[in-house]
Amino acid sequence: MDNKLALLTLCGSIIALLFAATRAQKVLRFPEGNDTMVKIAASIRSGAMAYLKRQYRILLIFFAGMFLILTVMAACGFLTWFVPFAFITGGFFSGLSGFVGMNIATRANARTAAACQKGLNRGLKVAFSAGSVMGFTVVGLGLLDISIWYLLLRLVFHLPIEEITSAMLTFGMGASSMALFARVGGGIYTKAADVGADLVGKVEAGIPEDDPRNPAVIADNVGDNVGDVAGMGADLYESYVGSVLSACALGVIAFNKIEAVDRVNAVALPMVLAAVGVLASIIGSMLVKTGENTDQGTLLKALRRGTNTSALLIAVVAFPLVWFIFGKAFIGFYFAIIAGLIAGVLIGFFTEFFTSDSYKPTKGLAEKSQTGPATIVIGGISLGMLSTAVPILIIAVCVMAAYTFSGGFTETTRGLYGIALAAVGMLSTLGITLATDAYGPIADNAGGIAEMSGLEPEVRGRTDALDSLGNTTAATGKGFAIGSAALTALALIASYVEKVQQVGGAGVELNMSVMNPPVLVGIFIGACLPFVFAALTMSSVGRAAQSIVVEVRRQFREIKGLMEGKAEADYEACVDICTKASLHEMVLPTILAIVTPVVVGLLLGYNGVIGMLTGATSTGFLMAVFMSNSGGAWDNAKKYIEGGAYGGKGSEAHKAAVVGDTVGDPFKDTSGPSINILIKLLSMVSIVFAGLIVNFHLF
Amino acid sequence: MDNKLALLTLCGSIIALLFAATRAQKVLRFPEGNDTMVKIAASIRSGAMAYLKRQYRILLIFFAGMFLILTVMAACGFLTWFVPFAFITGGFFSGLSGFVGMNIATRANARTAAACQKGLNRGLKVAFSAGSVMGFTVVGLGLLDISIWYLLLRLVFHLPIEEITSAMLTFGMGASSMALFARVGGGIYTKAADVGADLVGKVEAGIPEDDPRNPAVIADNVGDNVGDVAGMGADLYESYVGSVLSACALGVIAFNKIEAVDRVNAVALPMVLAAVGVLASIIGSMLVKTGENTDQGTLLKALRRGTNTSALLIAVVAFPLVWFIFGKAFIGFYFAIIAGLIAGVLIGFFTEFFTSDSYKPTKGLAEKSQTGPATIVIGGISLGMLSTAVPILIIAVCVMAAYTFSGGFTETTRGLYGIALAAVGMLSTLGITLATDAYGPIADNAGGIAEMSGLEPEVRGRTDALDSLGNTTAATGKGFAIGSAALTALALIASYVEKVQQVGGAGVELNMSVMNPPVLVGIFIGACLPFVFAALTMSSVGRAAQSIVVEVRRQFREIKGLMEGKAEADYEACVDICTKASLHEMVLPTILAIVTPVVVGLLLGYNGVIGMLTGATSTGFLMAVFMSNSGGAWDNAKKYIEGGAYGGKGSEAHKAAVVGDTVGDPFKDTSGPSINILIKLLSMVSIVFAGLIVNFHLF
């Protein structure tokens, strides 16, 4: 039976990829607009592709090096021979998700602008279809990788089930490393270009955003693609795959005391659940359509109809699925899945509550701009810090509920499996939630192209409406990403514990008590990592932005007639600087994430590593929420003022709000989202190096 | 023998208090200056006293309420009858420390200004003597409280030793609650006045700092006294007493398997060590003197000579002390003490490294002011976050060293006792380190008085030199406060675990594994508390500052001739607003700190509480370091620019730096230092309510 279930997953993957392909064709059938638009879109595309090519070249070295290390470790007997190859495929598919998503995004931007000339709804159709390509490519490739490896190891190599899940888990490390590079590199790129362009263009030269006279304007648009699209694609590929794989790994352990067939079924459940999620997402995204002339509220309703229907479908179908696989005795797992689904929705709602200017917190923040930049900065930081309380409580309740429903107080491992299932439940509708998230940057780009090619203001108004709608749906998407990261990270810690016992056998002396000094010290060090990581990525953005500032100032000074619109800016130079700077800056933080678990393990042993992972997960979750929400609130407070409040654009209040928004840029688009990946990569690296650490450690 | 050792502690306490009294007399012998100075000092004193009176009135209600609750709990058998009374004395002595320190500080400020008319060294003498009054009052009252209770319970009530230490530990809760109220209330007061005065005075009206035309100027000076002096006094009283008490409590447990006499000695060691520290501090502070005409470098050397000599004396004397008490077999405890001492010095040094403008980080931060407020804010946040790595590693090494040297890997409880001893070692020279810390705000006040009473600019130059010297020594003081808070909090968690076992007996099912969901969820919730606490205190400062801004603007508008210096401002009104606002705002954060452990305990049980304390300690330590260091670096970056760099005062760079400094104000003087107390108060409350939680909990 289990092979049939795995084939079902393969089918789900193929359906997702086919759906993505039809959506891509749909997008490409739309016209790209006039010559200027075609030209601008081409520069953005070539800049983005040039970045990705150079990024992949650097990553080739990294992956080759890691492959070598893993091969040596396999030769020494610390790993099975599948691990190095699994590592490579994980990285490859994660990168491919980003590449495909970005490719379509850079083809959809001008088309969205052109479509917006005819109407808002037509624009939505192009942008949302392009977003769907990304969403379904991510889930399709994720399930493809999982099901191919599963079938290969099971049908060709005939490995026992616990070795299969254990080997598969390690391709998560490939995906996570790739994701971290993409998120950090892309995040630095996009914010360096954005901050740099704003600091000189808006603040010093006083020209509007996306003005073609600004030499950094193309780099800014390229940044949206390499950061918000390619980075996000690799990121969510990693989340999706990580949650399924950790659930599979824990499923094997949860049922190792009952008959064998159950164990294989426990592995199948998360995979099949994900496949069902694909179908639910496709049905949901079919429902995203409205009449030709509609306002923003109706559009939002259309998007919500899609995501809600998908979630509801999953909630309905999961019940017979769990019943069919496990029978009545373990129906509690269904409630664990539902707990995850509800937690995702709730975190998404509260993210929106804290960051949207429709609610009190961001309105109150905007008010603080009246007493200057210092008060709005303090206000935003305190808003973000306060907002951590709600998701923490939601996750706390979700963890306790998933654990209890799954019978964790009878059999611990079953409870941990339940927590992992909650994460899978939360991400099961990723196809559509990612689609609603990914279309935002496309609309943003479309706006830039509309501005630069001098289309009627009406068109810009429509792209802005789409963009702002995207901000709202993106908040929901972020909620899912952060919530699932916390749950998956917890599941991965549990997987690590099992891995240690598996490779170490009877010699392992697990003492995970918080009063055991290596654990305690590990918690301290782990808790510190997100702080250090955030600091490194923030200062990278600062340095990279600085070099853009210098270049833009130089061009304004040296290129005569630029400000009068008589000469063209050297866009290439800025694109080039951003590319070099971000690729240079992405290396240190990522290496830190990979080296730290190994060093901590060698010094403090596996108990220390468990402590470190716990500390990093708890503080990382907080930091991710804090930074994303502060940044989001500043952004929307600025937009609220631009909408006319407290004197509107150009007022002192607006200037103060711009300072807040600029502080928030690296918060929400570089450091914050990277931390989600960091906490999982730490666990993944720990799992891969478990064999080494069990044999060599100081304490 | 042990009673003699306890009497030695009583002697130490009396010597400290006598020394403080002689220093106070010395200060009072100096003249207060001309009539204007006397008048200004009187307004500051009366404002500060009025605040304290009202604060104590509110706290009377709180302490009465808590006394009632504790009495009911004692009647129900969850506590011994000593606890409610011990709670009261802890709070009383903590408050008294703050009161005495502030009393002398408000008498020394004008005297320091007057002394600075005659020379820098004379000014230092007054200010440092006043600081010493504070330092030795804190340690004197702390040891008095400890030794009286010890002798009372042992000689009068003949309690067994483990009940004595357990009952004494609970008076730490009184001290901690008092300290948190004082720090939060005082911190909000001082920063509301400071930020409010700056926002309208400096930024809007363009008048210099401490200008008598600014209606908030007296409130600003009052704030230095109620926040930086009274708040700090109560805070460090709590740290000092907490470290000694937790070491005593763990000492009993560490030796409960060896003969009885050892256990009493284990209790005596931290007490006697503290008493020896008093003598070492007195000798050290005798050495703080220089010739009449000296520069700042020489003055710093003089201060350093004092603190270093004291530390060295302790290092020398502790060896025979440990040998005498425990014999050769347990000489490892000596190295635990030394580990704490060294860790304190190192953290102090790195605090200075990251926040002083003599070093690269703060210089680099000042450079970022050139591209505006956003970049200096991002830079400061990332500097602070990055700087957490160093103290975390120092504490990690210190914990592992103290644990290992004390034989923790043979007998766990002995290792935990070693960690507690490291904290006592770190704080043993508090008498002198606090003196060098406390004189800073006095010099700051003296500068204000010099400015307001129109003394020669030369005088202000001297008080500024003293103030700036104070910033450097304060960095060291902060290092000790933060480091000892982390170690003491860890010791308190260990004490909590013992307490649970003691009150629960055989029925207790301890499972402190991080993979136990209540522990895990507890860690998440605990880690969130410092974020929420920081957010609440920061927004309190914002709100209180806002009301000052409104009042100052009103006075500038309505009082005719104020700006021309023809009419006098209504200082009283600002003092009154600050008092009301800060007392109002201090309640919620403090209540949160007291209620949370009880709620978490009732829901998640004692395992959940242990998780919560661990999470709060690790993240709290990070947040305290981050916020203190970011704030300190912004402050000094601003001063560096005021010294002439990047265009000096009034330049765009300076304006940007002022924004950074204003953001940093609540960071370093309200939220950051309060978190140190928060993490200990959480443990103290948990310990007191352990009996209740053991009997009633959901999970």
Q: DSSP labels for B654-680?
A: HHHHHHHHHHHHHIIIIIHHHHHHHHH
Closest CB to B531: pick one of A497, A536, A622: A622
For residue A291, name the pLDDT band (cuts at 50, 70, 90).
low
Top-ranked range on mean pLDDT: pick from A384-398, A468-482, B192-206? A384-398
* Residue B208 DSSP code: P
Per CB-CB distance under 8 Å, the chain B contacts of A377 are: 373, 377, 659, 663
For residue A364, name the pLDDT band (cuts at 50, 70, 90).
very high
Top-ranked range on mean pLDDT: pick from A12-26, A505-519, B257-271? A12-26
**Cβ separation B514–A395 shorter than 8 A:** no
Nearest residue to A674 via CA among A227, A22, A195, A63: A227
Helix, coil or strand: residue B513: strand
Per CB-CB distance under 8 Å, the chain B contacts of A541 are: 378
**Cβ separation B534–A377 shorter than 8 A:** no
Query: How is residue B504 written in tokens?
Result: 């629960």
Place of tokens 């709620």: B599
B22: which residues sit within 8 A by CB, 6+ positions away? none
Query: How is residue A306 written in tokens?
Result: 């899609």
pLDDT greater than 70 at residue A134:
yes
Give percent of chain B with pLDDT exceeding 70.
98
Q: How many CA atoms lie within 13 A of B418 on its CB side?
A: 28
The pLDDT of residue A556: 86
> Is the Cβ–Cβ distance between B671 and B627 less than 8 Å?
yes
Query: How is residue B563 written in tokens?
Result: 């700006």
* Distance in angstroms (rounded) separating the CA atoms of residues A688 and A181: 19
Helix, coil or strand: residue B564: coil
A449: which residues sit within 8 A by CB, 6+ positions away? A33, A37, A40, A41, A44, A109, A110, A113, A221
The reported pTM is 0.94
Task: Tell me which chain B residue has its CA closest to the CA of residue A545.
Answer: B375
Nearest residue to B303 via CA among B74, B117, B475: B475
For residue B617, name the pLDDT band (cuts at 50, 70, 90).
very high
Question: What would the mean pLDDT of B355-363 be, rounded to a whole number?
Answer: 89
B52: which residues sit within 8 A by CB, 6+ positions away? B98, B99, B102, B226, B230
**Cβ separation A371–B199 shorter than 8 A:** yes
Query: Measured between alpha carbons, how far apart are the two ends of chain A, in Å?
Result: 46
Question: What would the mean pLDDT of A15-19 be, rounded to a whole number?
Answer: 96
> Is the Cβ–Cβ distance between B238 and B179 less than 8 Å?
yes
* Distance in angstroms (rounded) separating the CA atoms of residues B627 and B369: 19
Helix, coil or strand: residue A650: coil
Phi, psi angle pair for B448, to nearest 5° = -60, -45
For residue B91, name the pLDDT band (cuts at 50, 70, 90).
very high
**Cβ separation A531–B399 shorter than 8 A:** no
Closest CB to A382: pick one of B512, B520, B538: B538
Per CB-CB distance under 8 Å, the chain A contacts of B515 are: 412, 416, 493-494, 497, 512, 610
Per CB-CB distance under 8 Å, the chain B contacts of A197 are: none
* Distance in angstroms (rounded) separating the CA atoms of residues B462 and A624: 46
B677 CA: distance to closest CA in chain A (Å) = 18
Closest CB to A519: pick one of B416, B514, B542: B514
Task: Tell me which chain B residue has its CA closest to the CA of residue A671.
Answer: B382
B52 CA: distance to closest CA in chain A (Å) = 27
The pLDDT of residue B343: 92
Query: Measured between alpha carbons, how far apart are the two ends of chain B, in Å?
Result: 46
* Distance in angstroms (rounded) separating the CA atoms of residues A64 and A70: 10
**Cβ separation B379–A539 shorter than 8 A:** yes
Phi, psi angle pair for B144, to nearest 5° = -60, -50
Q: Tell me the pLDDT tens digit for each residue of B507-533.
A: 888 889 998 999 999 999 999 999 999
The pLDDT of residue A172: 85
**Cβ separation B400–A521 shorter than 8 A:** yes
Per CB-CB distance under 8 Å, the chain A contacts of B545 are: 375
For residue B399, name the pLDDT band (cuts at 50, 70, 90).
very high
Q: Tell me the pLDDT tens digit for each residue of B304-339.
A: 888 889 999 999 999 999 998 888 888 899 999 999
The pLDDT of residue A610: 95
Task: Tell me which chain A residue has its CA closest to the CA of residue B373.
Answer: A659
Query: How is residue B312 written in tokens?
Result: 């060295």
> Is the Cβ–Cβ distance between A534 and A623 less than 8 Å?
yes
Helix, coil or strand: residue B157: coil
The pLDDT of residue B13: 95
Per CB-CB distance under 8 Å, the chain B contacts of A388 are: 528, 531-532
- Which residues on neighbouring strands pair with residue B513, listed in sequence order? A513
Mean pLDDT of chain B, nearest integer: 89
**Cβ separation A396–B514 shorter than 8 A:** no
Q: DSSP labels for A379-433?
A: HHHHHHHHHTHHHHHHHHHHHHHHHHHTTTTT-HHHHHHHHHHHHHHHHTTHHHH
A216 CA: distance to closest CA in chain B (Å) = 17
The pLDDT of residue A2: 61
**Cβ separation A412–B659 shorter than 8 A:** no
Angle, alpha carbons B468-B639-A200 (nearest 5°): 165
> Is the Cβ–Cβ distance between B58 and B95 less than 8 Å?
no
Question: What would the mean pLDDT of B254-264 be, rounded to a whole number?
Answer: 70
Q: Tell me the pLDDT tens digit for each residue of A50-92.
A: 888 888 888 899 999 999 999 998 898 888 888 899 899 999 9
- Listed as own residue / partner, the contacts of A158-163 with beta carbons closer than 8 Å and 24 or more positions apart are A161/A252, A161/A260, A161/A263, A161/A264, A161/A267, A162/A252, A162/A253, A162/A256, A162/A263, A162/A502, A163/A80
* Distance in angstroms (rounded) separating the CA atoms of residues A71 and A63: 12
* Residue A513 DSSP code: B
Question: What would the mean pLDDT of B57-84 be, rounded to a whole number?
Answer: 89
pLDDT greater than 90 at residue A444:
no
Question: What would the mean pLDDT of A113-127 be, rounded to a whole number?
Answer: 88
Q: Tell me the pLDDT tens digit for each residue of A244-262.
A: 999 999 988 888 766 655 7
Query: How is residue A43 written in tokens?
Result: 């520069």
The pLDDT of residue B259: 60
* Distance in angstroms (rounded) separating the CA atoms of residues B329 and B326: 7
pLDDT greater than 80 at residue A487:
yes
The pLDDT of residue B460: 85
* Residue A338 DSSP code: H
Rg of chain A over CA atoms, in angstroms? 24
Closest CB to A619: pick one of B415, B527, B545: B527
**Cβ separation A517–B400 shorter than 8 A:** yes
Question: What would the mean pLDDT of B80-90 be, rounded to a whole number?
Answer: 88
User: How big is chain B, counted in residues?
Assistant: 699
> Is the Cβ–Cβ distance between A239 and A433 less than 8 Å?
no
A429 CA: distance to closest CA in chain B (Å) = 26
> Is the Cβ–Cβ distance between B609 and B697 less than 8 Å?
no
**Cβ separation A368–B517 shorter than 8 A:** no
Place of tokens 């070692």: B425
**Cβ separation B542–A403 shorter than 8 A:** no
For residue B301, name the pLDDT band (cuts at 50, 70, 90).
confident
> Is the Cβ–Cβ distance between B148 and B17 less than 8 Å?
no
For residue B294, name the pLDDT band (cuts at 50, 70, 90).
low
Phi, psi angle pair for B513, to nearest 5° = -65, 140
Query: How is residue A140 written in tokens?
Result: 């399709």
For residue A165, name the pLDDT band (cuts at 50, 70, 90).
confident
**Cβ separation A520–B490 shorter than 8 A:** yes
Size of interface A-B (CB pairs under 8 A): 227
Q: Tell me the pLDDT tens digit for each residue of B550-608.
A: 888 888 888 888 888 788 888 888 888 888 888 888 888 988 999 999 999 999 999 99
The pLDDT of residue B459: 87
> Is the Cβ–Cβ distance between A162 and A267 less than 8 Å?
no
For residue A312, name the pLDDT band (cuts at 50, 70, 90).
very high
pLDDT greater than 80 at residue A339:
yes
Question: What would the mean pLDDT of A510-527 be, rounded to a whole number?
Answer: 93
Per CB-CB distance under 8 Å, the chain A contacts of B517 are: 399-400, 403, 408, 415
